[in-house]
Amino acid sequence: MARRNDRRRRVLAVRREVREDPQSTRSCYHKYEVEPGLFTPGQFLEVSPKLCLDELGVPQSLSGLRALDIGAFDGPFTFELERRGAQVTALDIQDPDITAFNAVKKIKNSSVNYVRGSVYEACPETLGVYDIVLFAGVYYHLKNPVLAVQRVRTLLNDRGVLFIEGTSATDYLAEQLSNEFGLPRSRMRTITQILDRLPLSYFDFEDRIYGPWEVPGTRSGDCAPQLRSGQNWWFPTTRCLEMILLDSGFCNVCCKLELNAIYNYTHRRLMGRAEVDPAKSDPGNRKHENWVAEQDFPILNELVTGPPRSATGAAVRRLFWKLPPGLQRAARRVRRTLQPSS
């Protein structure tokens, strides 16, 4: 009875925290069911975490596995990974007391670990290594998604699997092209297919694809322009995302562009699964991507340092360099006889 009361008290406290306190609801992004009848008050995405992970191909049982949810926000997928049996860490730049994450963690009595930080700084030394990484809805918020994917690769063990989800430019570009050339709708499918097999990515500096994004809890009128844009940067095609993954140390890469449950089937998003390629343990570890020239051409070396000097030459020079001025001329003649080329 005491336990039931305690639980009820906690649920009510969190309910107040996530539903009735306007300060708290400002920062909640996901709406999802925490327990029967209790939903987080998210204003952007209403998700069924189970359905979303099923569509991404995440196995039903993760018992005995370590999973990392990068970009966890309010935690819908973190707690679903835990429900499936994994030992879970969530990584995000958000404060979990400001999002609904910690409130839900309390309700669920969960033992997931939350690390506040950026994927750019994520490394196995501090976070450990994982069997599964979920990287949903994040890469396009980053200006350097390739660097992020390289970091993710270092967080997976040799049998690790990455599940990735995010935006694509394919449908937007196909629409733009067919409007520009006045093509009939019947050609859209072909244009889309051609575009999607090209390794292109669109850098959306002008917020053309998703439009300005508003910070939760603000109205467009009273929101500073810098807060309303600049949230979404890179929109790759399917082929581009596949190539980034292949280049970053993954194999058996499979990406598809489809409507998905995360975005309530409103538009097509990229969903991918990639396995760690154990032969490429840390492709991001190179200091430079570009080849750095080395002075290994003998002819250039000679131009810079002069012709190579032989050991005899050095000995002869040592022998004569301290002679009195009167003997220097004779010495030079002897040196030329011994070393005709000097």
Ligand X SMILES: C[S@@+](CC[C@H](N)C(=O)[O-])C[C@H]1O[C@@H](n2cnc3c(N)ncnc32)[C@H](O)[C@@H]1O
- Which parts of this chain interact with ligand X (CB under 6 A)? 45, 70-71, 73, 77, 91-94, 118-120, 136-138, 141-142, 262
Closest CB to ligand X among 96 and 160?
A: 96
Q: What dihedral do alpha carbons 79, 85, 91, 95 form, nearest 10°?
A: 30
Closest CB to ligand X among 80 and 92?
A: 92
Closest CB to ligand X among 94 and 176?
A: 94
Closest CB to ligand X among 104 and 262?
A: 262
Closest CB to ligand X among 141 and 277?
A: 141
What are 150's strand-pairing partners? Answer: none
Q: Minimum Å distance from CB 7 to ligand X?
A: 27
Q: What is the DSSP letter of 19?
A: I
Closest CB to ligand X among 178 and 248?
A: 248
- Helix (H) / strand (E) element for 132: namely strand 130-136
Q: Minimum Å distance from CB 188 to ligand X?
A: 27
Q: Minimum Å distance from CB 216 to ligand X?
A: 11
Q: Minimum Å distance from CB 119 to ligand X?
A: 4
Closest CB to ligand X among 92 and 204?
A: 92
Sign of CA dihedral 213, 217, 221, 227: negative
The residue whose two tokens read 């970091």 is 151
- SS3 of the chain: helix, strand, coil, percent, to 5: 40, 20, 40
Count CA atoms within 13 Å of residue 253 on its CB side. Answer: 18
Closest CB to ligand X among 118 and 310?
A: 118
Closest CB to ligand X among 73 and 202?
A: 73
How many CB atoms are located within 10 Å of the residue 328 CB? 11
What's the CA gap between 80 and 248, in Å, rounded?
Answer: 27
The residue whose two tokens read 């053309």 is 208
Q: Minimum Å distance from CB 137 to ligand X?
A: 3
Q: Which region, left, alpha or beta, applies to residue 137 given φ > 0 means left and ψ of -120 to 50 means alpha? A: left
Q: Minimum Å distance from CB 54 to ligand X?
A: 14
Q: Write down the number of H helices and E strands in the chain.
A: 14, 13
Q: What is the DSSP letter of 205?
A: T
72: nearest Cα among 39, 38, 49: 49
Q: Minimum Å distance from CB 164 to ligand X?
A: 10
Both tokens assigned to 67 = 């999973």
Q: What is the DSSP letter of 214?
A: P
Q: Minimum Å distance from CB 19 to ligand X?
A: 20
Instruction: Indicate the burial class of 263 (C-beta count within 10 angstroms; 0-12, 13-18, 19 or more).
Output: middle
In degrees, rounded to 5, the angle at the alpha carbon of residue 232 between the alpha carbons of residues 226 and 233 is 105
Q: Minimum Å distance from CB 78 to ligand X?
A: 9
